[in-house]
Amino acid sequence: MTLQEIKISTGNKQLFIAEVKTQSPFGFVSKYNWDDLFKIANEYGDIISIHVDSRWGGDLELVKKARDLTQKPILAKGFIQTAYDVEIARHHGANYTLQVGEEVPYYKRNYREEMLEKLFYEPLNKEHLYYIFKEKTNIVINKRNPQTGQTYNNYWERFYKKEDDFIKDIKLYNIFGGNVIQASGIKNKQDICDWAKGFIIGENLLEFVKTL
């Protein structure tokens, strides 16, 4: 199922990707365990994001566990870089996988066109962003650098000098078949940007759902 098909089935213009996040290597530790967070994500999310990297309290077996507990689409979230990584995640029950933009040349050679619909691609710099603009896929614009934990003042500053240029390119990408997803820094509906076709919430999951 594509993101557009999920939007039609749910009736939501912006998809809520609810993340089960128990910890991070940058100091975050949830007060709740994985099972409690999963129940909330499953109740409220259109898509459920499951970490597969142990530094975020993740594991591929947790994708399999989630698959047994829900019929909702699952995003396997971690540093998934190769076609083999994708196939393993899908074998465990993931519908989508997240790739952080380090292995861009490898990605271009190895992912088939139909797999782009199942890919969430997170660029780390302007070069990665411009590269992925050539493809119709799901781009994650993260306010936090997943490698260092650095949080930026806004979503555009590491890609553009001017916010207007960022907004213009993002909106064009959305119009011509891509999907841009917002991540980090979301605590309530007012934090969701107009340009986002979906949004990922992990650390602030409990805080956010209380506002719904």
pLDDT at 87: 86
Burial environment of residue 158 by CB neighbours within 10 A (0 to 12, 13 to 18, 19 or more): middle
Q: In terms of Cα–Cα distance, which of 163, 200, 171 is closest to 183? A: 200
Per-residue pLDDT of the chain (212 residues; tens, 9 = 90+): 888 889 889 999 999 999 999 999 999 999 999 999 999 999 999 999 999 999 999 999 999 999 999 999 999 998 887 778 888 999 999 999 998 876 543 445 555 666 778 889 999 899 889 888 888 889 999 999 988 899 999 999 999 999 999 999 999 999 988 999 999 999 999 999 999 999 999 999 999 999 98
Please tell me the pTM assigned to this model: 0.93
pLDDT at 81: 76
State whether residue 124 is helix, strand or coil: coil
Degrees, nearest 5: CA angle 112-113-118: 90
pLDDT at 74: 98
The Cα–Cα gap between 69 and 33 comes to 16
